[in-house]
Structure 1
Amino acid sequence: MSGRSMTVSLLAVLVLFIASNALFIIKETERGVLLRFGQVVTPNLEPGLHVKVPFVNNVRKFDGRVLTVDSTPERFFTQEQKALIVDSYAKFRVIDTAKYYTATNGDETRASALLSQRINDGLRNQVAARSIQEVVSGERDQLMAAINRELDVVARTELGVEMIDVRVKQIDLPQEVSESVYRRMNAEREKEARELRAQGQELAEGIRAAADREVTVIEANAYRDAQEIRGEGDAEATRIYADAFGQDPEFYSFTRSLRAYQESFQSSGDMILVKPDSEFFRYLKDSSGALKEPADAVN
């Protein structure tokens, strides 16, 4: 290879090296600043191809997407001095690259730490102005909206980022308080359960008493109706007997005597002493029932 070819090759390599250091690309998902010896000369570089002076200018690129800062759980005190463990997170996005670079040196970890500190300060102030009921459920949405508004102003001014949202993930009681609260809640639930059981027992006794009373009334009414029906039947039977025997009184007297004989002499050892002229044996002497003068006593 001749000296001229070598020179051309070296010049080509030098041009490529300079070009590679002079050209840079900002992606759609990135934000960037152009520095000159560490000083910001062109903030908020737009996405696309850009040119810089090699060895003089430097480019710092940042993630332009929505980022998340996850704060560590912190202990805060409510208006009534009740301790709560609050775990939160926030969403932010870089909007002022020059301010962001100046405040954090382009370090996302440092930016997250600064935001986390400010989130905790905001939460501390908001929780201190509310009761535990308002923090947990009553005004939880209002609390997060207030923190987001206040933090967005501070973040834009100091860090050059936009606060998109601040959310509380979890609110817990401290461990030493949780046990006592759990025991108190358990005692309250047991008391409520005993009251409900007592009310149920009272209601059951009332239902049983009403059922027993109804059973007694039904049985009494049934017995009364049965006695009335039985009495009506006996009366009807007596009337029928009276009508039947009224047609032939002598036959009725005869059948009654036969029944009396049968009941009086049911066994061979039975014995009766009566006068011979007693009406008891009138039908034994005469089937017509006519009485005669007795001659001897009958055994």
Structure 2
Amino acid sequence: MKKFLGWIITIAILLIIVLCMGPFYIINEGEQVVVTRIGRIVDTHTDAGLHIKVPFIDKITTYPKRVLSLDGDPQPIQTKENLFIVVDTTSRWRISDPSKFYQNLTTLNNAYNKISDIIDSSTRTIITQNRLSEIVRSSNIINESKTTKSDLQDEDTKEIENLVNMNSTSESVYKGRSELCKQMTIEANKLVPDYGVELIDIVPRQIKYSDELTESVYNRMIKDRNQVAQAYRSLGEGRKAEWLGRLENEKRTIASEAYRKSEETKGMADAEAAKIYSEAYNKDPEFYSFWKSIESYKKNLKDYPATYSTNMDYFKYLYSPSGKK
């Protein structure tokens, strides 16, 4: 009995010693490990759970199993039409084979550097084979929107666009930005599997002109806006001249019509006055002659202090003592 208890105690002590040496390790969700023994890979695990290792001999290297992101550095690239643009990409990737990853890259920092070089190379290869319009656009909707918009525009806007040549269609896109991103990913995936990596996608996060080209683009934009402004001014001046011409014609028409009516009124008044004069003359010719002479004296003699006459007939009513001739 004592001998049996001694064996149990010995086994318990050995078990405690083994447990203290740490033969177990845990893989969490979203992790995968590579087990190496004296520098040689002996096993890999991608499932979460409790696993066993040889204490002091096996080394556990843990890698993430989730999708990782990589933001590249901006790099100047020449397009097919020899325009320099600065492209800043972002990509998603994951470790597909932890054994190859450990053999070729070992650490995540090494992986970031290597994958960044591969992405930069594939991005440069694809962009240099395509025009700028293919890189920044994914469809020809800009031309379709211009056609729809032109149908809704008024005549003045269409005239302005004709003046500044704004009706020209943009360059057609045959591949587009999305297709080029797929091509970049395919090009990069030709190399990354050797490192135990799967590249999910590559997306240009930012595309801008180089510093040398930016100033030229801004100058062209300013020139285009000045042309549009000048077109509006020219159209405004034309409309102004048109409205002023209409105004002048209307003024002449109104003045002519007013003059015609005034002449008609004056003619009617003169006729009415002549009629009244005729009726007055027929009633009393002597009084009519006297009245007209007095009116003439008031009009013609008011500015003369003295009047000399040789018995003219004009002054017949002045020289007659009775006021008669």
1:135 aligned partner, one-letter code: I
Aligned to 1:221: 257
Indicate the residue corresponding to 1:169 in structure 2.
205
Q: Superposition pairs for residues 242-261 of structure 1, below 5 Å?
A: 242-261=278-297
Conserved 8 A contact 1:88-1:168? yes
| Contact kept in structure 2, 1:78 and 1:131, CA below 8 Å | yes
Q: 1:185: how far off?
A: 4.3
Which residue pairs with 1:239 in the alignment? 275
Q: What is the CA–CA distance in structure 1 between the aligned matches of 2:130 and 2:86, rounded to whole Å?
A: 15
Quick one: percent identity of the two aligned structures?
Answer: 30
Q: Which has the higher contact order (CA 8 A, sep 6+)?
A: 2
Deviations for 1:204-238, whole angstroms, at most 9, x for unmatched residues?
A: 33433443343333333333333333333333333
Distance 1:264 1:89, change over 3 A: closer
Q: 1:36, CA displacement in angstroms?
A: 3.2
In the superposition, relative to structure 1, how do residues 233 and 62 fare at CA in structure 2: closer, same or farther (>3 Å)? farther
Partner of residue 54, structure 1 = 55
The aligned residue for residue 17 of structure 2 is 14
Corresponding position of 2:180: 143
Counterpart-to-counterpart distance in 1, 2:136 and 2:284: 104
Which consecutive residues of structure 1, in runs of 5 or more, have no partner in the other structure?
292-299
SS in 2 for 1:87: strand
Q: CA deviation at 1:13?
A: 5.6
Which deviations, in whole Å up to 9, do the C-alpha atoms of 1:102-126 show, x marking residues without a partner?
Answer: 3321x11211222212212221221
Give the corresponding residue for 1:133: 133
1:181-196 matches, cutoff 5 A: 181-196=217-232
3-state SS of paired residue (1:130): coil
Whole-angstrom CA distance in 1 between matches of 2:256 and 2:15? 124
Q: For residues 256 and 89 of structure 1, do their structure 2 counterparts lie closer, same or farther at Cα, with a shift above 3 Å needed?
A: same
Cα distance in 1 for residues equivalent to 2:215 and 2:69? 33
| TM-score normalized with structure 1 length | 0.76
Aligned match of 1:73: 74
Residue pair 1:265, 1:271 contacting (<8 A) in 2 also: no
Give distance in 2, aligned partners of 1:173 and 1:121. Answer: 19
CA distance in 2, matches of 1:232, 1:102: 120
What is the alpha-carbon distance in structure 2 between the residues aligned to residue 84 and residue 44 of structure 1?
44
Against the structure 1 CA distance between its residues 241 and 159, is the aligned structure 2 distance closer, same or farther, given a 3 Å change threshold? Answer: farther
Name 2:215's counterpart in structure 1.
Answer: 179
| Structure 1 position 270 matched with structure 2 position 307 | yes
Q: Which amino acid aligns with 1:211?
A: L
What is the CA–CA distance in structure 2 between the aligned matches of 1:108 and 1:264, rounded to whole Å? 122
Q: Is residue 110 of structure 1 aligned with residue 110 of structure 2?
A: yes
Matching residue of 1:294: none
Q: Secondary structure at the match of 1:148?
A: helix
User: Larger deviation: 171-180 or 123-132?
Assistant: 171-180
Q: Provide the C-alpha distance between the structure 1 equivalents of 2:83 and 2:305, rounded to a whole number of angstroms.
A: 107
CA distance in 2, matches of 1:146, 1:243: 111
Deviation at 1:23, TM superposition (A): 1.3
CA distance in 2, matches of 1:112, 1:57: 27
User: Structure 1: how far apart are the matches of 2:297 and 2:218?
Assistant: 93
* Higher Rg: 1
Mapped partners of 1:36, 1:23: distance in 2:
15
Query: Aligned to 2:181, what secondary structure does the other structure show?
Result: helix
Runs of 4+, deviation exceeding 6 Å: 7-10
Over the residues paired in the alignment, what is the CA RMSD in angstroms? 3.4
1:120 aligns with 2:120: yes
Residue 153 of structure 1 and its aligned partner are, at CA, apart by 5.4
1:203 Cα shift? 3.9
**For residues 230 and 278 of structure 1, what CA distance do their matches in structure 2 show?**
29
Measure, in 2, the Cα distance between the counterparts of 1:83 and 1:265.
99
Counterpart of 1:46, as a letter, is D
TM value normalised by structure 2 = 0.71
Q: Return the offset for 1:91.
A: 1.2
Aligned length: 280
Matched-pair contact (CA < 8 Å) for 1:34–1:45: no
2:85 matches 1:84: yes
